[in-house]
Amino acid sequence: MKTTFFPSYTIGSDAYGEIVKICRPYGNKAVVLGGEKAINAAENKIKCAVKDSSLKITGFFHFGGEASMENIERLKEIPQVKDADMIFAVGGGKAIDTGKVLAHTTVRPFFTFPTIASTCASCTSLGILYYPDGSLREYSISNIPPVHIFIDSEIIVNAPNKYLWAGIGDSMAKYFETSVSSRGDELIHSQAMGVSLGNMCNGPFVKYGEKALNDCRDHTVSPELEEIILGIIVSTGFVSNLVSMDITSGLAHAVYNGFTVLSQIEEYGHLHGEIVSYGILILLIADRQKEEFERVFRFNKSLGLPTKLSDLHSSMKDADKVIEKALKGIDVNHYPYHVTPEMIREAMESIEAYNESCK
Ligand SMILES: [Zn+2]
């Protein structure tokens, strides 16, 4: 049996104005858990929204910096957290996932308030948990997403634009990975719907991406920017909620995992979605989609996303390490063909050569 749920959502600079109307049916006490900067950005707006209503905020608490079981256990013991009927999870991926898994394990409804648009965490039922040292612990699988996503575009536009930039790369991978990973499969209804919805993670990004990023740099909320925010959070999140784990990932994320072994990735602060966007190029070459590769290559160039190894402070000398780690994970276990180390190496070399030919 498979049950799939979807959150509703509100977007706009006045999105929090709906909090009482939407949350009050779930109880009269909410606790806010989030990142420090996120709480700074959202606290006054949340307080204003619930002022003079029967919905009370029991407190605002920092989630602890890592989406770890240790932080979840610590937060669970705080009396104001125990006392709340519902959880408000505020911030980026890790803060949202902390509130999400806490809500799942204590069987309470949760609402999300993304303050950056870099991943679809605020829309999904899946929580990603880490050990306190930051290494991956487990995927906390659930089919319960937030009840509602409150997307305040004014808060997002005032966050550093690098998150939106990297979020575009990560979201576009959803289209390419689901379409390739599911190729040749007999898909059940929800999977087929998810793969088909994956198209929304391609066209709108190509159409609105550049304008949205420029508007984000200027801190201007525009229709194009809201299209991209919805693409990163809602389109990508809905696809994730619909398709199974083996289809939702693929070679672009395998390549990302590969790069995590290089110390320069952390040293230079390269972001997840930034590396994934280079992974899409590898996926397309390995899949022999030359035309699509050229299109994404031009798109990456126009947005300043990576198109070559030096953009990620690496070179062909790092290839062996990257490829070994890339193929260790589960990302290409379910794939229409066997992905070999040579395939990735050849794709890397061919992309380096293509960059040279474009000079
Ligand atoms: Zn990703």
Looking at the fold, whether 220 and 347 belong to one and the same domain comes out as yes
Q: What is the CATH number of the domain that holds 207?
A: 1.20.1090.10
In a domain, 162, yes or no: no
Ligand 1 centroid, distance to 170 Cα (angstroms): 5
In a domain, 278, yes or no: yes
In a domain, 56, yes or no: yes
Looking at the fold, whether 229 and 110 belong to one and the same domain comes out as no
Ligand 1 centroid, distance to 273 Cα (angstroms): 6
Ligand 1 centroid, distance to 104 Cα (angstroms): 22
Ligand 1 centroid, distance to 351 Cα (angstroms): 21
Question: Domain boundary at 157, 181, 198, which?
Answer: 157
In a domain, 171, yes or no: yes
Looking at the fold, whether 107 and 194 belong to one and the same domain comes out as no
pLDDT at 53: 97
Looking at the fold, whether 148 and 220 belong to one and the same domain comes out as no
pLDDT at 350: 97
Looking at the fold, whether 145 and 175 belong to one and the same domain comes out as no
Ligand 1 centroid, distance to 235 Cα (angstroms): 14
Number of folded domains that form the chain: 2
In a domain, 2, yes or no: no
Looking at the fold, whether 131 and 176 belong to one and the same domain comes out as no
Ligand 1 centroid, distance to 217 Cα (angstroms): 23
Ligand 1 centroid, distance to 272 Cα (angstroms): 6
Looking at the fold, whether 140 and 272 belong to one and the same domain comes out as no
* Range(s) of the domain holding residue 134: 8-157
Q: What is the CATH number of the domain that holds 52?
A: 3.40.50.1970
Ligand 1 centroid, distance to 356 Cα (angstroms): 28
Ligand 1 centroid, distance to 257 Cα (angstroms): 10
For the chain, which ranges sit under pLDDT 50?
Answer: none
In a domain, 57, yes or no: yes
Ligand 1 centroid, distance to 342 Cα (angstroms): 24
Question: Domain boundary at 132, 157, 182, which?
Answer: 157
Ligand 1 centroid, distance to 169 Cα (angstroms): 9
pLDDT at 135: 78
Ligand 1 centroid, distance to 220 Cα (angstroms): 26
Question: Domain boundary at 139, 157, 175, which?
Answer: 157
Ligand 1 centroid, distance to 331 Cα (angstroms): 11
Looking at the fold, whether 129 and 231 belong to one and the same domain comes out as no
Can you give the three-state secondary structure of the chain, one letter per residue? CCCCCCCEEEEECCHHHHHHHHHHHHCCEEEEEECHHHHHHHHHHHHHHHCCCCCEEEEEEECCCCCCHHHHHHHHCCHHHHHCCEEEEEECHHHHHHHHHHHHHCCCCEEEEECCCCCCCCCCCCEEEECCCCCEEEEECCCCCCCEEEEEHHHHHCCCCHHHHHHHHHHHHHHHHHHHHCCCCCCCHHHHHHHHHHHHHCHHHHHHHHHHHHHHHCCCCCHHHHHHHHHHHHHHHHHHHHCCHHHHCCHHHHHHHHHCCCHHHHHCCCCHHHHHHHHHHHHHHHCCCHHHHHHHHHHHHHHCCCCCHHHHCCCHHHHHHHHHHHCCCCCCCCCCCCCCHHHHHHHHHHHHHHHHHCC
Looking at the fold, whether 318 and 353 belong to one and the same domain comes out as yes
Ligand 1 centroid, distance to 53 Cα (angstroms): 38
Looking at the fold, whether 201 and 259 belong to one and the same domain comes out as yes
In a domain, 3, yes or no: no
Looking at the fold, whether 344 and 320 belong to one and the same domain comes out as yes
In a domain, 1, yes or no: no
pLDDT at 136: 74
Looking at the fold, whether 186 and 333 belong to one and the same domain comes out as yes
Ligand 1 centroid, distance to 239 Cα (angstroms): 13
